[in-house]
Amino acid sequence: MRRWKGRRTGLLLPSALLLFWAHSSLAWICGQQLSASFQQQNNVSAIVGGNPADILEFPWHVGIMHHGNLLCGGSILSEWWVLSASHCFDQMNDSNLEIIHGRDDFSTKNVKYQKVDKLILHPKFDDWLLDNDIALLLLKSPLNLSINGTPICTSEVSDLRAWKNCWVTGWGVTNISKVNIQSTKLQKVQVDLYRWDWCTIVLPLLTKNMLCAGTQDGGKDACQGDSGGALVCNKKRNIATWYQVGIVSWGMGCGKKNLPGVYTKVSRYLKWISKQTAKEGKPYMYEQDSACPLVLSRWAILFLYFVMFLLSW
């Protein structure tokens, strides 16, 4: 009995340290959404057919500002890096670019700003086809990662059938008939990923670096101003973690039936991202498609609390 008591006390300290590490690391572990409130509300029409979103649901979403105006959306990849679309920055240098993060309403006073140090556009970006529509933004100082500023995960998985529960967010146009009206409150909408072969029938200019997503009846879509924002999904075999599958890129109008929105296919660019980020001395590592990814979810934390409870009892 006494031996068990001694062992128990010996286990208590490592467990407490593990718990402390787990809690503090949750902020930088990617794709974790600490609010479990992906609710459907059907009373407001926005992003085009969406609903208001809480930043705790999409803590990786950022806005990219140019001279104080909202230019595009983006997503946090790490404390140093933001992912967005190349076409947002056509013929623009990196001066006067800033990101806003940590808020779902960018009209509120305490929005957090962070200056951009370097803009990296894809060298093969085609501004006519919008092929290779991807850009990396290196920040001047690192982000303070927290529950309302969390990186999104990326993965090598290229088969779209591996994904479920896909959402797109943005501060873009909410009503196609009022193209100048952008939303100051972040909007979210759920969309389905479509097979590339089907997409090319309705959108013949699609390249292999693009994917298309929408809904059967139309009416739900990203729109002007949402560009650069993330299309995120869960893996069918891991619904606790969010991955960025696409970047809002283009479309023929917004929310039209049988004309889905077009997104840059992120899995085609993971090696490019790794190379660019390493070159700048701030390497970003994406998830290899291993059979057993390390997922430190809130369930793991709860389990650790349970172990602590048993040990201290």
Residues catalogued as catalytic = 87, 133, 227
- Using the contact rule CB under 6 A, the part of the chain among 27-35, 97-105, 194-202, 220-228 near ligand 4AZ is 220-228
With binding defined as CB under 6 A, does residue 223 bind ligand 4AZ?
yes
Nearer to ligand 4AZ, 222 or 245 (CB): 222
86 binds ligand 4AZ (CB under 6 A): no
Please give the Cα distance from 294 to 155 (Å, whole number): 13
Nearest approach in angstroms of CB 112 to ligand 4AZ is 24
Among 248, 266, 273, 304, the residue binding ligand 4AZ under the rule CB under 6 A is: 248
Contact 182, 70 (CB under 8 A): yes
> Residue number with the shortest CB distance to ligand 4AZ?
251
Label residues 166-202 b or e (16+ Cβ within 10 Å = b). Answer: bbbbbbbbbebeeeeebbebbbbbbbebbeeeebeee
Among 167, 168, 261, 269, which residue sits at the site for ligand 4AZ (rule: CB under 6 A)? 261
Does 250 interact with ligand 4AZ (rule: CB under 6 A)? yes
Nearer to ligand 4AZ, 167 or 250 (CB): 250
Under rule CB under 6 A, residue 234 binds ligand 4AZ: no
Q: Contact between 222 and ligand 4AZ (CB under 6 A)?
A: yes
Residue 53 or residue 145: which is nearer to ligand 4AZ going by CB? 53
- Quick one: 131 or 226, whose CB is closer to ligand 4AZ? 226
Q: Which of 57, 131, 226, 287 binds ligand 4AZ (CB under 6 A)?
A: 226
Q: CB-based contacts of 68: which residues, under 8 Å, 6+ apart? A: none
Per CB under 6 A, does 221 bind ligand 4AZ? yes
Distance CA 53, CA 170 (A): 9
Total binding residues toward ligand 4AZ, as defined by CB under 6 A: 11
Between CA 277 and CA 154 the distance in angstroms is: 14
Least distance from ligand 4AZ to the Cβ atom of residue 223, Å: 5
Q: How far is the CB of 296 from ligand 4AZ (least distance, A)?
A: 34
| 295: its two tokens | 């997922």
Based on the shown chain and the rule CB under 6 A, indicate whether residue 227 belongs to the binding site for ligand 4AZ.
yes
169 touching ligand 4AZ, by CB under 6 A = no
Task: Name the site residues for ligand 4AZ (rule: CB under 6 A).
Answer: 221-224, 226-227, 248, 250-251, 254, 261
